[in-house]
Amino acid sequence: MNNQPYGVPDRHWSPKLTYWWYYAARPLRRKAIRQQRLENVQIEGLDALQGALASGCGVMLTPNHSFHWDSYCLLEASDRVATPFYIMTAWQVFATSKWFERESMQRCGCFSVDREGTDMQAMKTAIDILQRRREPLVIFPEGDVYHTNDRITPLRDGAAAMALMAARKSDRKVVVIPTAIKRWYLEDPTPSMVRTAEELERRLFWRPRHDAPLLDRILKIADGVLALKEMERFSATREGALSDRIAFLAEAVMDEAEKRLGIPAGRGMLPERVKEVRRRIIHQQTEEGNRASESQRRTWNATMEDMFLVTQLYSYPGDYLAGTPTLERQAETLDKLEEDVLGSSYPTPRGRMLVRIGFDAPIELPQSKEKKMTPNDLTKTMESRIQAILDGWNEKYVSQIGNR
């Protein structure tokens, strides 16, 4: 997982969608996809999106955030319907990019959002798009890339809240289209996976276990990395299932941070609790400014590092390789370890891949307050529909792609 700067963004980057620029950038986007060995993008349910656009609806697409280049693949669907997409993008992406890259993102429909704050400008932009623009709005409700193609991480309800708010004040229908994205290897990625496993073992000062099955090596590496963090935190390693140990460590780190900041412990999903801790620290940093002591700055920095650790731990379902350790799941786990342990900005492309994108039936949102639908209701519906598409693909295509 990539760490990002956190604080108050210097500015908001608004969309400057320019059709000729958007289409001129298409060859560069497709080149980037090919460089990642994403050689085939297949799209299902495109009629759902085309129908919503043809009827003049405001459209929000809510895809799972399964790998780093999924937004580029999703834009292949925009080419099919001959309509660019607006994409809500973390402000850190803009802040860490060069001027031309920022300009290009804006002209291709991207705009920034401060996920740790109450970003009214991003909210107004999103609502305006849903109420008045022909082009769909894309929001990734998972928030981060967790590298779990088969299992959607619980969605945050911000996207649902904005969609419902837009619908209640709109002169036209607003719909949400749950969208699933998943990739499969078209060739055996094992040679690349073995090389990454060996590099990870050497980083842990282990002798590479060439005689052991790859799955066993991955699980042992994960266990070893977790044990190092347990030693750092508790001065001892814990026993038990990997999933239980991951959850225990994440909760212990989270509890300590919440107590330090006077936040009631254990309320909400871990990503939301992490967001609140970061928000409190950013507020304190803004209030204190140059008056803050060096000790206080060190505490803030340490707590921010702890929140990144919690997010990393959250991205590892301890049972993800249990029962169905497909090559994709093994590769995804190594992808995360490559980023988290070896410090890679992006994981190694391990072989030719197929990407499948699926659009579900539109969810029409109520245009009056009398018809009750809460953000939580909508979020759970989106979540279950995306997972259903992923599950259906696994059942339908495993026999076709299984023999590499």
Label residue 6 by pLDDT band (50, 70, 90).
confident
DSSP for 48-81, please give it.
Answer: HHHHHHHTT-EEEEEE---STTHHHHHHHHHHHT
Structure confidence by residue, pLDDT tens digits, 105-115: 999 999 999 98
Average pLDDT over residues 190-198: 97
Element (H, E) at 161: helix 158-168
Q: Is 99 exposed, middle or buried (0-12, 13-18, 19+ CB in 10 A)?
A: exposed
Query: Does 3 score more than 50 pLDDT?
Result: yes
Residue for token pair 């731990």: 313
What pLDDT sits at residue 402? 47
pLDDT at 116: 82
pLDDT at 400: 53
pLDDT at 245: 96
- What letter does residue 368 receive in the DSSP assignment? S
Angstrom distance (rounded) from CA 365 to CA 183: 30
Q: pLDDT at residue 232 above 90?
A: yes
Largest CA distance in the chain: 66
**Mean pLDDT computed over 153-164:** 94
pLDDT at 87 over 80: yes
Range with the poorest average pLDDT among 34-48, 294-308, 386-400: 386-400
Whole-number pLDDT of residue 329 = 94
Other C-beta atoms closer than 10 Å to the C-beta of 307 total 23
Residue 401 has pLDDT above 70, yes or no: no
Average pLDDT on 179-193 reads 96
Q: Structure tokens of 113?
A: 């959002």
State yes or no: pLDDT of 78 exceeds 90. Answer: yes
What are the structural domains of the chain?
19-186+351-401 (3.40.1130.10), 190-340 (no CATH)
| Per-residue model confidence as pLDDT tens digits over 18-76 | 999 999 999 999 999 999 999 999 999 999 999 999 999 999 999 999 899 999 999 99
**How far apart are alpha carbons 230 and 309 in whole angstroms?**
12
Residue 403 — very low, low, confident or very high, per pLDDT cuts 50/70/90? very low
Closest CA to 88 of 121, 55, 56, 53: 121
Confidence of residue 404 (pLDDT cuts 50, 70, 90): very low
pLDDT of 398 reads 64
Q: What is the mean pLDDT of the chain?
A: 93
C-alpha gyration radius of the chain: 22
